[in-house]
Structure 1
């Protein structure tokens, strides 16, 4: 599938190294690995290059264009599922040696005006990762009330002018009908946001919020993290690349929660429940990578290992 939009995989070597280094089958990897966000396949291809002949890689992606790209990989060890990573738990328990989650959106999604993710291009206000199902942003904004809109923009975009933006959206809807394009929304937000952060378009936070909400990204992330505890083998690795504070906070807190022993206050002398994960720290992209790919600047890779005795 030839497209004019390209994608540079963020933290490619660091993420793949995190899955394999000192993990199960490290010398000749033959286990099952999961790329839970195939995108355009950068991480998947690097994982396949490291796997032994008996290894297996299962990829997930709910974007039909990503699934079409995956069909170009002619490798018997590889399979793709047209599903979001919330469905990770469908895999058998303790069957996976490594799970990689590369969160957010890919460059082809951002740069394709037809997808409606970017305020930089005129396009339909869609923003769905999976365009075969669900409600678009335009459809949701056409019926949501002012309070709902304000809460989404505030909670998912951390936008302090959320109420003013919501009022402007509803007023516009009442006067001239629903917003249908990206540029219409961007212009409306620019008029409602009184101060701008240096170097940032005033619509940035609103577009982020609506994208996260319409795709239930944070809820899906929580589901995938919980599922990883079930599907990972002992010593299996979890590697998560996040790009904004809401995602990273969820990942950080999840790893911290499961990286400590749990005591039952009702039975103070009972042995604590063993921790389920061992945190292996975080990694940020090198300055060279940020210089070559500015979209990597906010990336954080967090890595954890499934413990042998955590239930």
Structure 2
């Protein structure tokens, strides 16, 4: 069942929320049979499946996307059921087609991943057995040219994952130069943030930004010539920063991590795929804090109540194999961390 309501909204339309027709979408969404292999799929199944062996076990896919990870876990754990969250209605529709074969083993809800606590509470699930979060963009968002996520094609400056709220065009056309510079520096780790911000403000005085091509030109012209051919596409970091700002991604991740950890039953496991250092740093710190004793270092015997509630399942951040990155270049920057609850907090 796919629910398009937000957590806390009336559920009167739930009965009418149907899986899209198997004949396939006509609005440009990806067909399920054309969906690529999910990043680090087999390793994620290996990490989470031990917590999903018992009949009735529940896992939450905080970033349902096109449903690839969820399908793999449901296949590996026939007694488990899934709750899938995604803010993108197109992703929910496409995942609904792919996951329709699992029937009532799947419940999908339109929600941002920091709403995990509200969602499982409304579904009457006190604790879950596994949580997965595959951060960043889905293939659907990358490949949908009219969404404006890709700097390689000219498209409307949108970048909204949930297709609501301010767009990237709103940001570049209304934020002042100091605010733009802070965003590009913090979220894009762009060393030429100030130059780019001032160039954007100057260019929009001639005409507001509407599509990505003109913004890419302005960014490239603001970067010194010697630096344009190093570190990838000159607009890469600016587009990342705008996307994070538009979708409040780091703010949502900061809210999701403690909520997800709190949602796990004893023995439950969590796995998070991050794609840049800003995301991975937040995951690393949250897992480190959860798996560290709260006792003073010189205490000879640690009381049970001060012992950590979690243990790490990965040593540092695991990376995709060379074979996977060769067949799926989008996996190249992935960093995977996992942890398991071993006691109540």
Question: Could you state the TM-score of these two structures normalised by the residue count of structure 1?
Answer: 0.92
Measured after TM superposition, the shift of residue 130 of structure 1 is 0.6
Higher helix share: 2
1:126 aligns to 2:153 (yes or no) = no
Could you report, residue by residue, the CA deviation over 1:4-31 in whole angstroms, capped at 9, with x for unpaired residues? 754431111111221123x3x53x4531
Where in structure 2 are the equivalents of 1:236-275 lying within 5 Å? Answer: 236-263=268-295, 271=303, 273-275=306-308
Give 2:86's aligned residue: 61
Give 2:267's aligned residue: 235
Measured after TM superposition, the shift of residue 199 of structure 1 is 6.0
Measured after TM superposition, the shift of residue 94 of structure 1 is 5.0
Measured after TM superposition, the shift of residue 68 of structure 1 is 0.7
Where in structure 2 are the equivalents of 1:111-260 lying within 5 Å? Answer: 111-131=143-163, 133-174=164-205, 176-194=206-224, 195-196=227-228, 198=230, 200-260=232-292
**For 2:306, what is the secondary structure of its paired residue?**
coil
Cα distance between partner residues in 1 of 2:37 and 2:216: 26
Give 1:283's aligned residue: 318
Q: Of residues 68, 82, 85 in structure 2, which corresponds to 1:42?
A: 68
**For 1:155, what is the secondary structure of its paired residue?**
helix
Q: Of residues 306, 327, 330 in structure 2, which corresponds to 1:292?
A: 327
Cα distance between partner residues in 2 of 1:66 and 1:165: 33
Bigger Cα displacement from structure 2, 294-303 vs 152-161: 294-303
Bigger Cα displacement from structure 2, 134-143 vs 268-277: 268-277
Q: 1:150 to 1:256 in 2, by over 3 A?
A: same
**For 1:58, what is the secondary structure of its paired residue?**
strand
Cα distance between partner residues in 1 of 2:184 and 2:309: 34
Give 1:78's aligned residue: 106
Cα distance between partner residues in 2 of 1:191 and 1:182: 14
Unaligned 5+ runs, structure 2: 1-23
Q: Of residues 92, 101, 115 in structure 2, which corresponds to 1:87?
A: 115
Assess if the C-alpha contact under 8 Å between 1:122 and 1:183 holds in 2: yes
Bigger Cα displacement from structure 2, 3-12 vs 73-82: 3-12
Measured after TM superposition, the shift of residue 86 of structure 1 is 0.8
Q: 1:139 to 1:261 in 2, by over 3 A?
A: same
Paired residue total: 303
Measured after TM superposition, the shift of residue 262 of structure 1 is 1.0
Assess if the C-alpha contact under 8 Å between 1:229 and 1:276 holds in 2: no
Assess if the C-alpha contact under 8 Å between 2:49 and 2:73 holds in 1: no
Cα distance between partner residues in 2 of 1:150 and 1:254: 28
Assess if the C-alpha contact under 8 Å between 2:29 and 2:94 holds in 1: no
Cα distance between partner residues in 2 of 1:136 and 1:71: 26
Could you report, residue by residue, the CA deviation over 1:220-247 in whole angstroms, capped at 9, with x for unpaired residues? 1111111012210011001001111111
1:10 aligns to 2:42 (yes or no) = no
Question: Could you state the TM-score of these two structures normalised by the residue count of structure 2?
Answer: 0.83
**For 2:65, what is the secondary structure of its paired residue?**
coil
Measured after TM superposition, the shift of residue 39 of structure 1 is 0.8
Could you report, residue by residue, the CA deviation over 1:111-148 in whole angstroms, capped at 9, with x for unpaired residues? 221000011111100000011x2100101222111111
Unaligned 5+ runs, structure 1: none
**For 1:142, what is the secondary structure of its paired residue?**
helix
Could you report, residue by residue, the CA deviation over 1:69-121 in whole angstroms, capped at 9, with x for unpaired residues? 13212211101001111101112475100000000001221122100001111
